[in-house]
Structure 1
Amino acid sequence: MYIAYFDESGDDGYPNYSSQLFVMSVVYMEESNWKQNYEIIRKFRKFIKDKYGFPIKMEFHCRQLIQDKHPYHGKYNPQERKELLELQFKLIAALDLKIINVVIDKHKITSNNYDVLKNAFTYSLQRIENDMLSEDDNRFIVITDEGRIEKMTAVSRLLQRINYIPSLFEEGSYRNDLKTILEDPLPKKSQESYFIQLSDTLAYIVNLYAQRNLIQNPINWPRRVSDVLNYGDEEELLEILLRKQRLNLKANKNNKFGIVHYPK
């Protein structure tokens, strides 16, 4: 059985929204690897506490850390914030897990009824399911932050009843109800889950990557971000995961990092 941890970057509103992009990231692992992964993270958190004074129990919230916002404001200079981010990616690369990232570009949406969260979660679940079916028909459960649990529960229940997937070879779609997901998504506070915090980090950096590489008119990063990262640094961070084969490249074979990008 696999355990899948989800988090997001950007808002999921549409047609009214504050961010052009919505990113959903998931890290998932075999339950037999959970304890070993947890111990590696715990040792990492002790390391950054000793070196940077980063409290072991403090949530690693990527956007707030990079932009020097509460609860990190004034505690780390730009170089230290960049180092902490690079170390976080090296940590993820050292763990025995897989990663899927989904980006929704609202500027490409043509229907006012488009449900951003529903579609992002659907694309994520479909690709985990494909992975499960390729590995001796495995099963998985979903763990996510409490904020969107009600909507994600409704989506997962719907997909287990009826799920249409666009065909790659002909017009129309075919029915493929999800078979490998177990239970409703389970809620957990992000500050109490190192694994949700990893997904948070991934979602934010993929958002920065998408802003420069996946949309028609690239977005300039906020000054607070540019104080820490240069354009291209986000790609170098993703390269760390690529080299260690942590990214599920089958999720989208048309993107170097396997990032799923909709609408097409």
Structure 2
Amino acid sequence: MRNLDPGHLLSYIDESGDTGFGKQQSSTTYTLGCVVINSAHWGGVLDEFVEFRRRLKSKFKIPMRSELKANYVLRGTGTLKHLNLSPGERSLIFRSHVKFVAENPYLHVFAVVATKSGRLTGSQLFDESWVRLFQRLERTSDALGASTVQLVHDHGEDESIRKLARWSRRRLTAGSQTGSGLIARPFKNLVEDPVSRDSQASYFIQMADFAAYAAYRRLHPGTEKVQQIVPQDSWDLYGDALLSRVTGVRLGEPKAIVTLQA
């Protein structure tokens, strides 16, 4: 079992799905994927991922600067469209992303999966999901001895995320272990405002995108055609990279996936 080193933690976050409900194009879930790394190891891991992308370029002709998203791999669209890759090749690309994280001792992943029922939509669903992510990062940083945490996320909801981060720094709560309501757990270790980055320019945010999609499919497997590319057990293949402390021990449930019935 690998350990997350204490210190300054960088948390890269990307989302899968939307916060709507009942519309023709609405997704089944709204999911946040999170990749956590100690900043001391960031440069070395980046160099290794660059080499990984070079191998993908050599084998599949995918340009180094092309953004890779789980949906592109699933459907053969986006930056992969002109390559006409087979389902088997796209499955290999998805698994290789999971394998890279699983085999790197400095990378850790978890996810928040909100399954929609119509109870929460729009900003409510957004806020509830992100608050759960902040809670787990706060608990993790505190358990490591007050490690500091900085968030880096895909651009698009910058103002909403910034407001929630500032609120969390002062007013975040968590469930009491005695079951007697909520207790104050302000996220004091959260430093600065979250940083917004274009996912096209961040390999780490792209890693978080793959994690978000794998977590979603762990709970909602999809059709046989989907599972040819992303099998239901793809999330489990992250192995020791799964930040299991965010969910504790839950018999029969996947590690490191925080669930929300929305």
- Fold agreement, TM-score > 0.5: yes
Out of 8, 16, 28, the residue aligned to residue 9 of structure 1 is 16
* Pairwise CA distance, 1:14: 5.3
Q: 1:93 aligns with which of 90, 102, 115?
A: 102
Structure 1: give runs of 5+ residues left out of the alignment: 213-219
Q: Which amino acid in structure 1 is aligned with residue 37 of structure 2?
A: M
Of 178, 188, 194 in structure 2, the residue corresponding to residue 179 of structure 1 is 188
CA distance in 1, matches of 2:258, 2:113: 6
* Aligned amino acid, residue 124 of structure 2: D
Q: RMSD of the alignment, in Å?
A: 2.0
Aligned residue in 2 for 1:106:
116
> Is the Cα contact below 8 Å between 1:208 and 1:221 reproduced in 2?
no
Q: Distance in 2 between matches of 1:113 and 1:145?
A: 18
Where does residue 29 of structure 1 map in the other structure?
37
Tell me the residue number matched to 1:234. Answer: 232
Name the structure 2 match of 1:217. none
**Can you give the 5+ residue segments of structure 2 that lack an aligned partner in the other structure?**
1-7
Q: CA deviation at 1:166?
A: 2.3
- Whether 1:122 and 2:131 are equivalent positions in the alignment is yes
| Residue 171 (structure 1) shift | 3.0
Moved beyond 6 Å, runs of 4+: none
CA distance in 2, matches of 1:148, 1:186: 11
Q: How many residue pairs were aligned?
A: 249
In 2: Cα distance, 1:93 partner to 1:258 partner: 14
Question: 2:62 touches 2:80 (CA, 8 Å); kept in 1?
Answer: no
Q: Which of the numbers 247, 250, 260 marks the counterpart of 2:245?
A: 250
Instruction: After superposition, give the CA deviation of every residue in 1:77-101 in whole Å (9 maximum; x if it has no partner).
Output: 1111011111111111122121121
SS of 2:229's equivalent in the other structure is coil
Match of 1:261 among 254, 259, 262: 259
Match of 2:51 among 43, 46, 52: 43
Contact 1:14 1:116 in 2 (8 A): no
Partner residue in 1 for 2:223:
221
- TM-score scaled by length of structure 2: 0.88
2:72 is aligned with 1:70: no
Cα displacement string for residues 173-220 of structure 1 (whole angstroms, at most 9, x for unaligned residues): 1111111100111111100000000000111121112214xxxxxxx4
Q: TM-score, normalised by structure 1?
A: 0.87
Question: Aligned pair in 2 of structure 1 residues 111, 37: CA closer, same or farther (>3 Å)?
Answer: closer
| Deviation digits for residues 90-147 of structure 1 (CA, Å, limit 9, x no counterpart) | 111122121121011121x536687111111111111111111111211010011111
Comparing 74-83 with 13-22, greater Cα deviation is found at 13-22
